[in-house]
Amino acid sequence: MIYFLYVLAGIISGVFGGMGMGGGTLLIPILTIFLNFDQKLSQGINLISFLIMALFSMFIHYKNGYIVTKHIGWIIAFGMIFSVIGALCMSILPSRILKIGFGIFLCILAVIELVKVFKKDKKKGKKKQNK
């Protein structure tokens, strides 16, 4: 039964990661909440699975013309610098703090997405009224 949950976690995070929506936003909670993995271990597993999924996804997105490479050097450079800083912080902080921080991050992300949806619906409503 436990292997089924591992497979299910991989399928769910793979689908969301392949669509570019960040499979880790689902994989980490699945591993920590439902499978009782430590937060640091869950984040490590997410990074390994992300690398593999990202390579396949990047190839497909690039092939379909969905990747624009202009200014990507800046994103890569600063991403590399701050990933080292983040990894150093992760090694110092206790798992409990990381779990709380990740939960807060997901809540903020959810609020931002809800606001976007309501703004979009409000604009659609105004367009219909003007017609």
Closest CA to 27 of 16, 82, 18: 16
91-116 confidence digits (pLDDT tens): 899 989 988 998 998 899 889 989 99
Element (H, E) at 40: helix 39-63
Query: Global pTM?
Result: 0.67
pLDDT at position 130: 64
Residue 92: exposed, middle, or buried by beta-carbon count in 10 A (0-12, 13-18, 19+)? exposed
pLDDT at position 129: 65
Rounded-to-integer distance, Cα 31 and Cα 3, Å:
12
Domain borders along the chain are 2-130
The residue-averaged pLDDT of 41-52 equals: 88
